[in-house]
Structure 1
Amino acid sequence: MAQKRVSHVLVCRELKPHLLMVIVQVGYTFLYFITEASFNHGMSPHVNARPKLTFALFMEIFVLSLLGVSVTLNMYFASLNYTNPTFVASMVNTIASLTFIIAVALGFEVLDLRNPRGIAKVIGTMISLAGVLIMTLYKGPVMRNLWHPLIHIPGKSAAINEDWLKGSILTVSSCVTWSVWYIMQKSIKR
């Protein structure tokens, strides 16, 4: 009985990539159905009218692509090299809060503390930032893995370069540029 169970586990482990691939294909099929239904209800797959490509618009698009993809993601991945993934993953949760704070500072968002929505935005921002602080600063008990890790990179633990100051600055800079990128998308000329 135990040998039969072990063989089922091995078969499932070997079939897992194939099953996941089938699930992805089913997802794509649903995407195609939804897209076709959208086209049948009047959505156009083509852009008919676009603004004239001026030098100013070209520079806005250039800065958006430089800031949003190149700079932000390069700082993000570089910060992983200097800190640990837990810190970086928790700091990425500040992007929504930072976007709100920067948008208020630049005047894109109006903060009305007499309105329940304004109060909810401020409370949500504070809760989000408090959660990130707790995730970053709390040192709980070490948790042991019950199973073998899914991905094992030989020699990685010895090769981690921990420079927390540099990594923290890169992580925060990445989150700030990500937030500014979101705000710039709102302000780009249409």
Structure 2
Amino acid sequence: MGTLWENRAMAADAWKAHAALLLVQLNYGAYHVIAKLALTGGINQLVFCVLRDVVALTILGPLAYMKDKGSRPALSGYFLFSFFFLGLTGIFGNQLLFTLGLNFTSPAYAAALQPAIPVFTFLLALAFGTENANWQRIDGKAKILGVLLCVAGALIMALYKGPALLGDGFSDLNLQGIAVAGKPAPEPIGWLATLLIDAGVELWHLGVVCLIGNCFCMASYIVYQAPLLSSYPALSMTAYSYLFGAGLMTLTGGFFANGLSDWTLTHTEIACVLFSGIVASALNYWLLSWSNKILGPSLVALYMPLQPLASSILSRIFLKSSLYLGSGIGGGLIVLGLYSVTWGRYKGERLALPSQRRMSDYMKGQSSLRINDPLLKVLYNRGPSHLASPSVFLSRTWHELSD
């Protein structure tokens, strides 16, 4: 009966995790819509990242202290290094490299490279043993097929627009390019651009490298935190990661922001920063970590290509922009891919169940044997660990039989 209830609880947690990941993508979709409106006259993107992370930290820190007080393991050098690595990759490196890559290339190219996140995540999860995929078995084929479907769907949404399914196709023209509009590029971009141009490096190529690095950083963040979640609470892990990530981002912003004018915000910019820090950063990263503990890094990453679809749907609802065929086809492929990976995991667990049941039945049978022979009783009670020393085993057995 206990096992039945445990299985039901695990299934309920799995459904909650899937719902949480869908909420995360909807939150990011809303964030993209708000950013398109709020950053038109725009805040310096580096300053925006600093303030967003600081807001997230002020939310996560107190919540983690109150919620996980008394249940957190003691901090050790291993945990501190892990939190620093998570902050460096998933927060600081992820945000900064995306900003650099976006400014050196284009929004379309940045969107086209984002499907690399689930690919990198799946490969890293295989390398670290947090995911398995045997091509010879049907469950392994389903997992690999699911990853390919998600990547294909994301590429279609990024590269193929198609005719408008909803809307006239003209009402959203004024929204094009708003995501990168605003104040001049952050100082590290201008400084770095001048240095690289003088060295003969093409900025487009550097931008591609930055975007690939952004995808790899996010994949590393998701995969590296997965084994840590078995021994450390998700909320506290997220808070510590943001402590290091926000610290690194603040140092970068303090050195390279153009001046006090960049830190002066309008009411619209303040609202955008608050939403980004509370919802798109604090809440989303916490839900990502909690879902990672239940579903694993591969499924967490496979939900990320749904962001463009969520953004398109919310843009259609609130901004009356058009919804195109490419978004519909790509979103459908991503949903099929998620189902394929989930089914593959379920099938893999079912294939492993018979051997586990046979072992469980064997152990239950052994424990229920009525052992009447004295010698067999001594052998059963002592177990195989004493057979390594025959003389000691025989001596103790003789004394027990004599008694």
The TM-score by the shorter chain falls in which range?
0.5 to 0.7
Is the 2:121–2:220 contact (alpha carbons within 8 Å) kept by the matching residues of 1?
A: yes
Indicate how the Cα distance of structure 1 residues 148 and 107 shifts in structure 2: closer, same or farther if over 3 A, else same: closer
**Higher mean Cα deviation, 102-111 or 144-153?**
144-153
Question: 2:78 matched to 1:56?
Answer: yes
Larger Rg: 2
Select which of 197, 200, 224 maps to 1:184.
224
RMSD: 3.6
Decide whether aligned partners of structure 1 residues 136 and 146 sit closer, same or farther in structure 2, where only a CA change above 3 A counts.
closer
Alpha-carbon deviations, 1:75-109, whole Å to 9, x = none?
01110001111121232233122201221123321
Q: Comparing 113-122 with 170-179, which one deviates more in the overlay?
A: 113-122
Distance in 1 (CA, whole Å) between partners of 2:144 and 2:172 is 41
Contact 2:103 2:207 in 1 (8 A): yes
Percent sequence identity is 28
- The correspondence for 2:205, drawn from 165, 170, 174, is 165
The corresponding residue for 1:25 is none
| SS at structure 1 position matched to 2:210 | helix
Q: Give the corresponding residue for 1:112.
A: 134
Relative to structure 1, the CA distance from residue 186 to residue 138 in structure 2 (aligned partners, 3 Å threshold; closer, same or farther) is same
Give 5+ residue unaligned stretches, structure 1: 1-16, 18-43
Greater helix percent: which structure?
Answer: 2
> What letter corresponds to residue 215 of structure 2 in structure 1?
C
Give the Cα–Cα distance (whole angstroms) in 2 for the partners of residues 111 and 52 of structure 1. 35
Q: 1:41-190 maps to which residues of 2 (within 5 A)?
A: 45-132=67-154, 145-146=170-171, 149-150=174-175, 163-188=203-228, 190=231
**Alpha-carbon separation, structure 2, partners of 1:64 and 1:133:** 27
Helix, strand or coil for the counterpart of 1:175? Answer: helix
- Report how many residues are paired: 144
Normalising by structure 2, we get a TM-score of 0.31
SS at match of 1:149: helix
Over 3 Å counting, the alpha-carbon distance change for 1:127 and 1:55 in structure 2 is: same
Q: Secondary structure at the match of 1:52?
A: coil
Gaps of 5+ in 2: 1-33, 35-65, 164-168, 186-192, 194-201, 232-403
